[in-house]
Amino acid sequence: RMMGSGGTKHMKFGEQIKEVRKSRGLTQEQFADQLHVTRQAVSNWENDRNLPDIEMLILISTVSGVSLD
């Protein structure tokens, strides 16, 4: 689950993305390659500069095995 992981209910989206990536032992570049985006896009998500669109959220969920609920 992305929300509430680690018992933290108010974790920012960027922190959640970073936690998902790190839990899989991936660098930003490796995660970006799996999602067919740039490393900068992953960095922007993790730093809450922008958010992925819904199609990308679904792909992140699929690639990482993390539920969106």
Q: Which residue has the higher pLDDT, 11 or 12?
A: 12
Under the banding of pLDDT at 50, 70 and 90, the label for residue 35 is very high
Q: What is the mean pLDDT of residues 28-57?
A: 96
Phi then psi for residue 46, to 5 deg, are -65, -25
Q: What is the pLDDT of residue 55?
A: 95
Residues 6+ apart with CB under 8 A from 9: 3
pTM metric for this prediction: 0.80
Q: DSSP character for 52?
A: -
Place of tokens 């990308």: 56
Cα–Cα dist 65/69, whole Å: 12
CA distance 6 to 18: 13
pLDDT recorded at residue 68: 81
pLDDT at 36: 96
